[in-house]
Amino acid sequence: MGLGVTTFQTLKLAAIPSLHSASSIFRPVSKALTLFSLSRRPFPLIVRALSAQALPIATPDDKVVKPSWKAAIDFKWIRENEGVVAANIKNRNSNANLELVLKLYGRMLDVQKEVERLRAERNVVANKMKGKVEPSERQKLIEEGKNLKEGLITLEEDLLKLTDELQQEAQCIPNMTHPDVPIGAEDCSTIRKMVGNPREFGFPIRDHLQLGKELDLFDFDAAAKVSGSKFYYLKNEAVMLELGLINWTLSEVMKRGFIPLATPEIVRSSVVEKCGFQPRAANTQVYSIEGGDQCLIGTAEIPVGGIHMDSILPESSLPLKYVAFSHCFRTEAGAAGTATRGLYRVHQFSKLEMFILCRPEESDSYHEELIGIEEDLFSSLGLHYKWGFTVPFYVDSLICLAGGSLSSNDYFGILGRTLDMASGDLGAPAYRKFDVEAWMPGLGRYGEISSASNCTDFQSRRLGIRYRPESTTTPKKGKGNAAPTQFVHTLNATACAVPRMIVCLLENYQQEDGSVIIPEPLRPFMGGLQVIKYKFK
Amino acid sequence: MNDFLVVKPSWKAAIDFKWIIENEGVVAANIKNRNSNANLELVLKLYERMLDVQKEVERFRAERNVVANNMKGKVEPSERQKLIEEGKNLKEGLITLEEDLLKLTDELQQEAQCIPNLTHPDVPIGGEDCSTIRKMVGSPREFGFPIKDHLQLGKELDLFDFDAAAEVSGSKFYYLKNEAVMLELGLINWTLSEVMKRGFIPLATPEIVRSSVVEKCGFQPRAANTQVYSIEGGDQCLIGTAEIPVGGIHMDSILPESSLPLKYVAFSHCFRTEAGAAGTATRGLYRVHQFSKLEMFILCRPEESDSYHEELIGIEEDLFSSLGLHYNTLDMASGDLGAPAYRKFDVEAWMPGLGRYGEISSASNCTDFQSRRLGIRYRPESTTTPKKGKGSSAPTQFVHTLNATACAVPRMIVCLLENYQQEDGSVIIPEPLRPFMGGLQVIKYKFK
């Protein structure tokens, strides 16, 4: 049973500016759409949604595995700021072993000195042998040289082992934390902003699974047989809704100067690690491919982070702003219970991810820009009408213009909030993390729909992404004039996680008769479809 | 794939052995024409043995019943002892026979599953050079300037990045950038709306499936040089085509006849190892490990599959004509069909940058090959008024399944870039796609 051909119009992308001018368009974040912002205060969280973001937890091993790559860790800085680093590790509930790191670092420096000393002595001996030397003296020198050489080999082996062990331990140290981040576990996260209106339903509401069943939008049962639990087929209008969300979100974010990308979904496991995830940990979120070192990505953050791996970018190219589309795969190992029913927690989903590479001094402001974009997108879908005056008539005429059949009594929106995540709930890479949660009436609680992290230089030190600052004096051609390179800062933010959005939209926009209104901004991207109607079978 | 090692299959295809025996000559000729290494002789031999052992088993069971009955009445003690002995011997003999029967059945199944589908009488016999052209549409464009291939166009227009992808993922991976992303979305949106207009139900499918489902569709995830990626730690695979998860939707089901035909158009990413593929024919977007594809899939009654095959190839030809492509439709030769296909039409489009035709789609009629493995049946409506009670419904039949590419995005991108390039290095967007790309008309050369 297909969709009615007569009601179907071509799917369209709204006209978007050509990409040449896109980079010069920077639409200021509109404040008009936000209703009211609560200053940060501790808020007893209603059952907090499980984060969609993988939470890498450091699990130092007693066994030293030779890392296939090295993070450019600033050991000197760690040693000079030992107290701050230790407090941070504690606040983040990390099991990094700072004491061991400092001990190993000290030993490594000592062994390094020893190596240099032995090398110097060896040079002395080698030099002595060049001149005129008595045979007995020569023999002594040869002996000495040989001993030094053997000692050197042993020391250099030790140095290598120490460096590997140091690297392995030090990589567990989480990123530093923004001073404004609330300290504590997830219940300490604070609310930065509330948006939208809670809708009052005058009828018993359905959850997205029931709506999906009645509207023939998903099939979990067939997917369980074909693939396993937490897999699903989207059908009929749900497919159009997914495409509508992707097309609309992409065009909105491109308008703000982000370069669109479609990324590989299979990557080398080393790239996954460099972004701060742990493909080999027990209960890992990461699927591995048999027969090699490849993994499936859990987020486009990974392949996008990898694009500029081991590069030095000219300062003029920053900031680099990408919006990347990909399917994402997560094992969801260890997640169980009713919080994982239906589309809320699945093994595979579509996602649009924003990613910024910038200069260090700008990452805080780009973090604000990213969360602003997320809040804008969400507000646009939230259809709130609080302009400080009675609007029913305006709403009515708006709806008439759109050719719809909504009654002005159906005045509703989506309630949402932005959280400043507490120190114990940040992943290892994030310096600061904002989560957006939407009220999901069918679930009866808030559910995370997006997440924006400022990873400062945590990922770039692992991925090897630097930039060369422009010299302030006229650069003279020749050696030694270029300014030393710096590590960029990286940020990532969800523009649209499709299944969560589908849950959100279905549950918030349901009607008493079981149909679902399509939010107005999506309609041009869904062939003008206004309502997902209950199908009489 | 014949192996001396008998692996206990985790599922059984519903193979019609009787039919095979009755049509041994046809089946043998077909195996030869298809260049298959199925061993028909062995299958027939195993089948005979299996029937014999089955008869033996029944005989033993009958004798055991006789002995059991004899023991019920009044029996002399010495006679009783003899009967008990006899019963014990029969029981042991039976156990051995039943074990043999199981092993035989597994081996028979394994060998028989290698037998390819039969072939449509109009299919040309021979290797791939024997495929014939059914239709030719358009002609190669004449360029008045030196043309570029899609890789060069992509580089100059900043549309792909293969180098970064090689670092991050490996060769034959890529990022799409800028207008190429819009082109992918435009192709998907337009194709989906065109196919939905023709009554196909849209689907988005899982891309991780159980390996048994892959096998049931006629692929071989465990073969050397397999096209199929496997996931570590279990029996899951990545799909190479949405044909697989769609085929699996109605696994082990009996559909009412009134629900047929079922027509789906499914969107998915596809993953292929491309093991064994090398050379210049694999540069750029032409042969990649991951790509987006819209796939049409039909389940229908057997007598209708030929006409739905024509419908599917007709839709594909409409789509490509709308985009202004020059292409040929081929009727694939018997040696170039996969095991499941009864008949296969491939569309090859002219790719000027490559300097040859490249496959952009494929439409297969798999008749009951997949449905016998997936267990998809339908119940024909009874012609007489059904009486409630036992024995009134008609016996179930296997459906026929067909699959056809609506749009394989990277091949289409190669096609469009190379055919629509301009002298200044820009690329015109075909008119039907423009509304789905925000009205974009040209991918312009970017001056940097």
pLDDT in tens, A297-331: 999 999 999 999 999 999 999 999 999 999 999 99
Respond yes or no: is residue B411 known to be catalytic.
Answer: yes
Report pLDDT for A387: 28
Report pLDDT for A64: 58
Please state, for a pLDDT cut of 90, what percent of chain A lies above it: 64
Helix axes A98-128, A82-91, angle to 10 degrees: 140
Active-site pick, B212, B215, B243, B287: B287
Report pLDDT for B75: 79
User: Residue A265 is nearest to which of B176, B192, B269, comparing CB atoms?
Assistant: B269
pLDDT in tens, A443-502: 888 999 999 999 999 999 999 999 999 876 555 555 555 789 999 999 999 999 999 999
Helix axes B40-70, B77-112, angle to 10 degrees: 160
CB < 8 Å & 24+ apart, contacts of B15-18 = B15/B109, B15/B112, B15/B113, B15/B115, B15/B372, B16/B372, B17/B47, B17/B108, B17/B112
Annotated binding site of B: 241, 272-274, 288-291, 295, 359-362, 403
**Number of residue pairs across A and B with CB atoms under 8 Å?**
190
Q: Do A233 and B252 touch (CB under 8 A)?
A: no
Respond yes or no: is residue B61 known to be catalytic.
Answer: no
Strands A465-468 and A311-314: parallel
Respond yes or no: is residue B434 known to be catalytic.
Answer: no
All residues of chain B having their beta carbon less than 8 Å from the beta carbon of residue A238 are 204
ipTM above 0.95, yes or no: no
pLDDT in tens, B163-177: 999 999 999 999 999
Active-site pick, B211, B362, B364, B371: B362
d(CA B205, CA B264): 11
pLDDT in tens, A266-309: 999 999 999 999 888 888 999 999 999 999 999 999 999 999 99
- Is residue A18 scored above 70 in pLDDT? no
pLDDT averaged over every residue in chain A: 82
Cβ neighbors of B443 (< 8 A, separation 6 or more) are B157, B159, B179, B183, B426, B427, B429
Strand segments, DSSP code E, in A403-476 are 416-420, 432-440, 445-454, 465-468
CA distance to partner chain B, nearest, from residue A279 (Å): 12
- Is residue A116 scored above 90 in pLDDT? yes
Give the chain A residue nearest B439 (alpha carbons): A15
User: Does an H or E element contain A365, and which?
Assistant: helix A363-382
User: Any alpha helices (H) in B335-434, and if so which ranges?
Assistant: 369-374, 409-419
User: Does an H or E element contain A106, and which?
Assistant: helix A98-128
Q: How many CB atoms lie within 10 A of CB B248?
A: 28
pLDDT in tens, B221-273: 888 889 999 999 999 999 999 999 999 999 999 999 999 999 999 999 999 99
Spatial contact of A357 and A316, defined as CB atoms under 8 Å apart: no
Preceding amide of A392 cis, omega within 30: no
Average pLDDT over every residue of A237-262: 97
Give the chain A residue nearest B250 (alpha carbons): A222
Residue with tokens 């209008």: A237
CA geometry: angle at B176 spanning A463 and B275, to 5°? 85
Report pLDDT for A11: 40
Q: Do A8 and B193 touch (CB under 8 A)?
A: yes
- Is residue A41 scored above 80 in pLDDT? no
Q: Do A239 and B444 touch (CB under 8 A)?
A: no
Report pLDDT for B223: 85
pLDDT in tens, A124-149: 888 888 877 788 888 888 888 899 99
Closest-CA residue to A440 (of A522, A503, A509, A497)? A503
Preceding amide of B261 cis, omega within 30: yes
Closest-CA residue to A220 (of A207, A206, A235, A237)? A235
Report pLDDT for A115: 93
User: Residue A227 is nearest to which of B169, B208, B435, comparing CB atoms?
Assistant: B208
Q: Do B267 and A228 touch (CB under 8 A)?
A: no
Interface test with A, best of B161, B172, B200, B205 (most A CBs within 10 A): B205
Cβ neighbors of A139 (< 8 A, separation 6 or more) are none
